[in-house]
């Protein structure tokens, strides 16, 4: 991307790095404003991460929860979308460097490159315990889960069979809980009738959380309810136990060995490495510590938002990496940016907590909406409604609603394809 390209004379150029909740919302909030917007993402699609686990569990297709960023912004005349991977920022020169080569000059920069899952330095674990951050991750988890049943169907050695049908989910946050719940349900309801040898309902799903409780973001009462619901459908919940080892055949929890054919990592995230190149203080998780107006110290023209930002003004501890935080920060950054363009003062960011929810399974969820605490059916319906409304693009809403209706009524999963197993040129038999 030759520099001249973006730094056209005239309107100030706003470069946004990342097309997730934060970056996309910032771009939308600049619609019709007297600026040129260039949004750059290494993927061509915006991903609705809260439903990623449903791709992993073969309920939804990737296209149901992802939309091309270009398509989302197609009617926004002042916005331009580019595919590219930012590898560094030069605040002094006001340029962004890209892996593909070339750099891009900006007048304002919005960095929203998010977080990746972290193995706390044990990167070797990654090969045996995929995380769930991208569509590729979800498809890989789906592949391993479906493959484990196919292999179990042919397995004659009892020990190996037990291993194949044991699934360990590491991390008791919303993603871990939703994955554990949906995997167990799929094993209980969807697959049994289609296998002749194995009793799929013998599948063992273990949810391991190092902290004292699952879903710590929720209050005591709801957390206990969530735990009971998980245990009611047969998920083993183990809290206060840290995973000390992961290999091709299972995990070690504390001192106990659990042989498991499938291990999924939902334990922790680390901020995108791009934050380091800004040359400003980071917090322990590698997130960029931002000022009240979401800009960084010494560079009012650079905003950092979403999972990459560490915002803790007037709070105890920084805001969590939630979609709601990212979206509100995207709007706030755009507002403050335009204030500067207009020569007006900026205003500090304030997070409006509209609540959090998590699903456990069929007709079971917990939700904390301000003073309101919901669980069971009511919470589940609320969850369905909110997530349908949040989905980007009307088409996806309809498609997803149909999939859910189908999955709920039939307890079947439609998207049970094992792909990418063999990359050779040969066709499937027949």
Q: Which residues are catalytic?
A: 178
Q: Does 86 bind a second copy (CB under 8 A)?
A: yes
Per-residue x/- track, 278-307, a second copy (CB under 8 A): ----------------------------x-
Compare residues 258 and 304 and give the one whose CB is closer to a second copy: 304
Residue positions counted in the chain: 430
Cα of first residue to Cα of last residue in the chain, in angstroms, is 46
**Residue among 12, 33, 85, 301 that touches a second copy (CB under 8 A):** 85
How many chain residues touch a second copy (CB under 8 A)?
85
Q: Does 334 bind a second copy (CB under 8 A)?
A: no
Q: Does 71 bind a second copy (CB under 8 A)?
A: yes
**Residue among 255, 284, 352, 423 that touches a second copy (CB under 8 A):** 423
- For the bound state, the minimum distance from the C-beta of residue 358 to a second copy, rounded and expressed in Å, comes to 20
The secondary structure element, H or E, covering residue 405 is: helix 394-410
Q: Which stretch binds a second copy (CB under 8 A): 16-24, 235-243, 281-289, 290-298?
A: 16-24
Q: Which stretch binds a second copy (CB under 8 A): 58-66, 165-173, 233-241, 347-355?
A: 58-66
Q: Does 116 bind a second copy (CB under 8 A)?
A: yes
Q: Which stretch binds a second copy (CB under 8 A): 22-30, 160-168, 236-244, 253-261?
A: 22-30
Q: Within 152-171, which residues bind a second copy (CB under 8 A)?
A: 153-154, 156
Q: Within 380-399, which residues bind a second copy (CB under 8 A)?
A: 395, 398-399
Compare residues 146 and 367 and give the one whose CB is closer to a second copy: 146
- For the bound state, the minimum distance from the C-beta of residue 226 to a second copy, rounded and expressed in Å, comes to 26
User: Do the beta carbons of residue 270 and residue 283 sit within 8 Å?
Assistant: no
Q: Where are the beta strands (DSSP E) in 160-298?
A: 166-170, 204-209, 236-239, 243-247, 250-253, 256-259, 262-265, 269-271, 288-289, 295-296
**Residue among 124, 212, 221, 420 that touches a second copy (CB under 8 A):** 420
Q: Within 171-230, which residues bind a second copy (CB under 8 A)?
A: 193-196
Q: What angle do CA 393, 395, 396 make, to 5 degrees?
A: 75
Compare residues 47 and 366 and give the one whose CB is closer to a second copy: 47
CA neighbours within 13 Å on the CB side: how many for 343? Answer: 0
Q: Which stretch binds a second copy (CB under 8 A): 128-136, 208-216, 277-285, 345-353?
A: 128-136
Nearest to 114 by CA among 250, 269, 5: 269
The angle that helices 220-232 and 174-185 make with each other, rounded to 10 degrees, is 20
Per-residue x/- track, 134-153, a second copy (CB under 8 A): xxxx-x------xx--xx-x
**Residue among 6, 29, 57, 84 that touches a second copy (CB under 8 A):** 84
C-alpha–C-alpha distance, residues 290 and 271, integer Å: 14
Q: Does 10 bind a second copy (CB under 8 A)?
A: no
DSSP of 348-374: --------EEEEEETTEEEEEETTEEE
User: What does each C-alpha distance from 353 to 20, 128, 191, 218, 348 come to in angstroms?
Assistant: 19, 36, 39, 13, 16
**Residue among 1, 6, 290, 291 that touches a second copy (CB under 8 A):** 1
The secondary structure element, H or E, covering residue 83 is: strand 79-83
Nearest to 84 by CA among 71, 94, 95, 98: 98
User: Do the beta carbons of residue 268 and residue 175 sit within 8 Å?
Assistant: no
% helix / strand / coil in the chain, to the nearest 5?
35, 25, 40
The secondary structure element, H or E, covering residue 406 is: helix 394-410
Q: Does 76 bind a second copy (CB under 8 A)?
A: no
């Amino acid at each position: 991307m030759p520099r001249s390209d973006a730094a056209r004379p005239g309107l100030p150029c706003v470069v946004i790095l990342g097309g997730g909740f934060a970056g996309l919302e910032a771009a939308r909030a600049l619609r019709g404003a007297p600026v040129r917007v260039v949004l750059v993402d290494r993927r061509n699609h915006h991903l609705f991460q809260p439903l990623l686990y449903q791709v992993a569990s073969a309920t939804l297709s990737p296209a149901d929860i992802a939309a091309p960023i270009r398509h989302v912004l197609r009617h926004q005349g002042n916005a331009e979308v580019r595919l590219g991977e930012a590898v560094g920022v030069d605040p002094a020169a006001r340029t962004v460097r890209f892996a593909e080569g070339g750099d891009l000059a900006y007048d304002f920069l919005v960095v929203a490159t998010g977080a990746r899952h972290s193995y706390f330095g044990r990167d070797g674990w990654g090969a045996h315990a995929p995380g769930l951050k991208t569509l590729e991750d979800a498809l890989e988890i789906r592949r391993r889960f479906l493959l484990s049943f196919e292999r179990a169907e042919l397995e004659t050695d009892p020990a190996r069979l037990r291993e194949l049908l044991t699934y360990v989910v590491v991390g008791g946050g919303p993603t871990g809980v939703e994955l554990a719940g949906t995997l167990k349900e799929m094993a209980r309801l969807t697959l049994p009738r289609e296998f002749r040898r194995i009793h799929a309902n013998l599948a063992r799903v273990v949810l391991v959380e190092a902290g004292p409780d699952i879903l710590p973001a929720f209050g005591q009462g709801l957390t206990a309810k969530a735990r009971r619901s998980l245990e009611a459908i047969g998920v083993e919940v183990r809290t206060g136990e840290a995973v000390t080892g992961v290999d091709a055949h299972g995990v070690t929890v504390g001192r106990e060995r659990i042989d498991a054919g499938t291990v999924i990592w939902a334990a922790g995230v680390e901020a995108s490495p791009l934050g380091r190149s800004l040359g400003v203080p980071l917090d322990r998780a590698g997130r960029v510590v931002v000022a009240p107006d979401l800009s960084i110290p010494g560079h009012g023209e650079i905003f950092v938002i979403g999972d990459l930002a560490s915002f803790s003004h007037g709070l105890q501890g920084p805001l969590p990496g939630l979609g709601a935080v990212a979206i509100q920060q995207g709007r706030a950054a755009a507002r403050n940016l335009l204030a500067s363009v207009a020569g007006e003062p900026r205003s500090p960011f304030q997070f409006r907590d509209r609540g959090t929810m998590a699903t456990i399974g069929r007709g079971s969820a917990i939700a904390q909406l301000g003073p309101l605490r919901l669980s069971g059916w009511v919470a589940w319906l609320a969850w369905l409604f909110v997530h349908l409304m949040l989905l980007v693009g009307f088409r996806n809403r309809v498609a997803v609603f149909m999939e859910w209706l189908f999955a709920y009524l039939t307890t079947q999963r439609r998207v049970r394809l094992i792909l990418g197993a063999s990359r050779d040129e040969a066709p499937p038999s027949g």
